[in-house]
Amino acid sequence: MKIGKDKVRFYYGIFLTVFTIAVGVLLVAETASVYYGADVSPYLSPSLHTKSTVVLVVFLVWLAAVIGGFVLTFFFPESGKGKPYVDHTYTLRRLKARTPDCGEEDFLAAEARANKWDKTRLYLAIVAGAILLLCAAMCVVRLAVGIDRSGKAVQEVLVLLKGMLPWLACALVSALVLTAVDCFALSAALRSRKELLVLGRGFPVRERKKGWYENEKVRFWTVTGARIAVAVLAVSFIVFGIVNGETPGVLAKAINVCLECIGIG
C-alpha cells in the first residue's frame, strides 16, 4: 500500500516536472512571438517609452543574473509527506566551522573530499557568473549600438528586445547545464560533510564577541524609540492625508477598474 503511494508520488513528480519544462518552453516561445510580432498596443506613448527603456534594460540585465543564480540551487527530492522541511546545509556549515581539527585519518579524508567538492562548486559558480556577465555585457552592447533611432519608440524597444533575447536564452541554457552539474557536486559535498560531522568529536562553542548594539538596554531603547517614531509618523501622515483630501483618490481607484492596471489592455 505504502509503496504504491510512494510510486504514485514519484511518477506524479516526474510527470509534473516534465510538464512544467514543456510549459516553460511553450511560454518562452510565446513571449518571443509577442516580441517579434510587434503586437504592441498603440497606447504606449513615446515619452513613456524613452523613460521606461532605461529602466527596462537595467531590469533585464538584473533578471539575467538573477535567473542564473536561481537555477543554481540545491535540488533534492522531498523525503515524504508530513515530514518537516529541513535543509541542513546551513547548520552543517556552521557546525563544520566549530569542529576542531582532529587527527583521525577518516576525518581528514572526509574533510578533504568535502573541500574538494566545495571547490568544484565554487568554480562552477565562477563559470556561471562569467557567462552571465558576458551575456549581460552583450545585452548592453546590443543596446548601445543596435537602436534604430529613426524608428518610433515602440519599435526601438522591440529592436532592443530582439537583440537581447538570444543572449538571455544563452544565459538561461548555460545556467541550467551548470545547475545540473552543481546538483551532483553538492550531493557529493554534503555526503562528505555529514560523514565529517559524524566522525567529529564534540562541538566546542566559539566565544563570540558581542557588539555594542547587542547590549540589552541599547536594544530596548532603539526598538522602543523606533516604534514611537513610526507610530507618530504613521498617525500624522494619515491625519494629514485625510485633511488634505487624499482618501477620495484611494476610493476612486478602488471602485473603478483601470483595464490597463489589471493587464487587460
Partner 1 sequence: MDKDDRLLETEEPSEQNENIQEELPKDGENSSPGEKETPKKKGKFRAWWQAHKPTRRRIVQVYVALLTNANIKGFFSGKIYKGATKYVCTPGLNCYSCPGAVGACPLGSLQNAFASSNIKTPLFMLGIILLYGLLFARTVCGWLCPVGLGQELLYKIPTPKVKKSRFTRVLSYLKYVILIVFVVAIPLLLAGTPTPAFCKFICPAGTIGGAIPLLLNPTNANMLDGLGGLFTWKFIVLVVLAVGSIFIFRFFCRFFCPLGALYGFFNKIALLGVKLDETKCTDCGLCVSHCKMDIRKVGDHECINCGECIDVCPAKAISWKGSKLFLHKNAVEVSAPVTEQAIDLKEGVVLAAAATANAEAKNSDPIPAISVQNPETGTKKKGKGKAFWIRLAAWCTAGAVLVGALVYYNFIHKESKPALPPLQVGDVCYDFTLEGYNGESFTLSQHRGKIVVINFWGTWCGPCVAELPAFEEIRSEFSDKVELVAVHSFNLAETAVPFLEKNGWTAWGAIFLQDTSDTSNNDVNVLLGGGGEAYPYTVIVDEEGVVAFTRLNELGGEILRAEIEKLLK
One character per residue 207-226, x = contact with partner 1 (rule: CB under 8 A): -x-----x--------x--x
CA 137 to centroid of chain Cα atoms:
20
| Long-range contacts, 76-80 (Cβ 8 Å, 24+) | 76/187, 77/13, 80/6
Site for partner 1 in 224-253 (CB under 8 A): 226-227, 230-231, 233-242, 244-253
User: Shortest distance, CB of residue 226 to partner 1, whole angstroms?
Assistant: 5
The three cell numbers of residue 253 are 481607484
Nearest approach in angstroms of CB 171 to partner 1 is 14
Q: Supply the minimum distance, in Å, between the C-beta of residue 104 and partner 1.
A: 13
Residue 197's nearest CA partner among 119, 101, 92 is 92
Piece of the chain touching partner 1 by CB under 8 A; list 35-43, 101-109, 110-118, 135-143: 35-43
Query: How many binding residues for partner 1 (CB under 8 A)?
Result: 100
In this chain, which of 48, 126, 137, 169 binds partner 1, going by CB under 8 A?
A: 48
Binder of partner 1 out of 7, 25, 31, 137 (CB under 8 A): 31
| Choice between 13 and 151, CB closer to partner 1 | 13
Indicate the residue among 37 and 145 with the shorter CB distance to partner 1. Answer: 37
CB-neighbour burial class of residue 153 (10 A; exposed 0-12, middle 13-18, buried 19+): middle
| CA atoms within 13 A of residue 206's CA, in its CB half-sphere | 9
Assess 259 for contact with partner 1 (CB under 8 A).
yes
HSE of 251 in the Cβ direction (CA atoms, 13 Å)? Answer: 5
Cβ-contact 265, 40 below 8 angstroms: no
* Vertex 226 angle, CA 225 and 229, to 5°: 85
Chain positions 72 to 101 lying near partner 1, rule: CB under 8 A, are 72-92, 94-95, 98
Binding mask 118-137 for partner 1 (x = CB under 8 A): --------------------
